[in-house]
Amino acid sequence: MSNTVVTVIQAPIEVDYTCPYCGENITQCFDDFLSDQGLSWSDLSDWKYIDITCPECGKKIDDVSYEFD
């Protein structure tokens, strides 16, 4: 008998959001999102403080909240 639990680690693949300024729906793969936003993995420990810049209109988007699927 074994009570081994296998934990499946999920990694983010894509992000999807709508810019409040230009209304553009942005879908990007996660690596592109990081490089567009000048972020690296180590910045992501505290998601709620991460503001982003819309790649379409270049405006800074504050008060971003993150949802994980």
Is 40 or 65 the residue whose CB approaches Zn ion more closely? 65
Name the residue type at position 12: P
Is 22 or 44 the residue whose CB approaches Zn ion more closely? 22
Give the dihedral sign, CA 23/59/36/56. Answer: positive
How far apart are CB 44 and Zn ion at their closest, in Å?
22
Q: Give residues in contact with Zn ion (CB under 5 A).
A: 19, 21-22, 54, 56-57
How far apart are CB 30 and Zn ion at their closest, in Å?
19
